[in-house]
Structure formats: structure tokens, C-alpha cells
């Protein structure tokens, strides 16, 4: 493993937020145009659905949206990420490596669809923070690449390697 290592796992979230903001802008234009035309009922219904969309976006702000920064042998530096003036929910600051307990691999099982080119599960590698330190995502990819990267990172940083369940699930390994 070559350190320092620059990472940006917030990039997919930046695209998602840009799309959501574009939808919100088009929606706002539609609402204003309906009110300007005098269609109060249509405008009111769109405002109602817009409030529901806003509530959904507000809940999405609680989800961790990756991280962007640099990992060295001494610590991790993560930077805030903004999209068109809106801050993403990412950790920021400088953290020494002793603030992390382990390197974790989160496996997300993908349901195979016939029209998908890739049928492999996805994996996220994260530094698991001790109390007072955040969990920092440093890599996203297919599960095989994530497991190999996590093993290498764990050895390079001298941290324990752990399998991390997706929230609301447990990990069970069966041998046949």
C-alpha cells in the first residue's frame, strides 16, 4: 500500500445531490408558473408534493455521504464537500490514526438483474472511529476489490480488519 493515499468517496453523492437540486429547481419553476397563470389548485397540489419531496431530502441529509481527503501513516485529513453551495454530510478535520479502532468492510448484496453488466456485490472500506471520531469511508468498489484493499490497508496501518454489517442487518457466515 502506497501512502499517502488520496480518496474521494463523496463523488457519487455529489452527482445525486446535483440531480436532486436540478429537480427541485424545475419543480419550483413549475409551481411559480402555475400560480402566475392563476391555477391556484394545481399550484397548491404541487406545493404539497414539493413539501413531501423536501421532507425526503431533509431525511437524506442524515445519511453519511462518503468522504474526501488524504490518508497518511500518521493520520487522516478529510475536507468538507459542497455542491452548489450546499454542504454534504461528510466528516471533516484531522484525525490521528490512534483515534481509529479498525478497518471495516461493509458488504452490500446486489440482487442480480438480467440486464446488468456487473452482477457482483459492492463493498465499502472505512476507518472505524473510536468514540469521538467519525467512521471515514476511503474506498468504494466491488466486494473483491474492497476486501483486498481493506486487507492491505489494515496491514499498512496496523489496525484490526472487521466485517461491518449494513445498518439493520447482521452478518452470518455459513460453511457447507
Check residue 174 and give its pLDDT.
67
Check residue 102 and give its pLDDT.
92
Check residue 1 and give its pLDDT.
75
The per-residue b/e assignment along 35-53, b for 16 or more CB within 10 angstroms, e otherwise, is eeeeeeeebeebeeeeeee
Check residue 118 and give its pLDDT.
59
Q: Please give the DSSP secondary-structure letter assigned to residue 115.
A: T
Q: Using an 8 Å Cβ cutoff, are 171 and 165 in contact? A: yes
Check residue 125 and give its pLDDT.
92
Read out DSSP for 26-85? HHHHHHHHHHHHT-HHHHHHHHHHHHHHHHHHHHHTTS----EEEE-SSEEEE---EETT
CATH topology of domain 5-9+65-164: PH-domain like (2.30.29)
> Among all chains, which residue has been given the C-alpha cell 484525525?
95
Burial of 158 (0-12, 13-18, 19+ CB in 10 A): exposed
Per the document, the length of the chain is 176
Instruction: With H, G, I as helix, E, B as strand and everything else as coil, classify residue 160.
Output: strand
Q: Which residues of the chain have pLDDT under 70?
A: 110-119, 167-174, 176
Domain definitions of the chain by residue range: 5-9+65-164, 12-60
Amino acid at each position: 500500500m502506497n501512502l499517502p493515499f488520496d480518496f474521494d468517496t463523496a463523488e457519487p453523492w455529489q452527482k445525486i445531490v446535483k440531480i436532486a437540486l436540478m429537480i427541485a429547481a424545475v419543480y419550483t419553476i413549475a409551481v411559480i408558473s402555475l400560480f402566475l397563470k392563476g391555477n391556484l389548485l394545481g399550484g397548491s397540489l404541487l406545493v404539497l408534493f414539493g413539501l413531501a419531496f423536501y421532507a425526503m431530502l431533509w431525511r437524506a441529509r442524515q445519511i453519511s455521504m462518503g468522504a474526501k481527503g488524504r490518508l497518511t501513516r500518521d493520520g487522516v485529513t478529510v475536507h468538507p464537500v459542497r455542491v452548489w453551495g450546499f454542504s454534504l454530510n461528510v466528516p471533516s478535520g484531522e484525525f490521528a490514526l490512534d483515534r481509529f479502532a479498525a478497518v471495516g468492510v461493509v458488504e452490500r448484496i446486489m440482487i442480480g438483474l438480467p440486464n446488468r453488466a456487473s452482477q457482483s456485490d459492492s463493498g465499502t472500506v472505512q476507518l472505524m472511529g473510536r468514540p469521538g471520531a467519525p467512521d471515514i469511508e476511503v474506498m468504494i468498489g466491488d466486494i473483491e476489490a474492497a476486501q483486498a484493499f481493506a486487507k492491505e490497508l489494515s496491514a499498512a496501518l496496523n489496525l484490526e480488519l472487521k466485517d461491518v454489517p449494513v445498518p439493520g442487518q447482521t452478518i452470518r457466515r455459513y460453511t457447507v
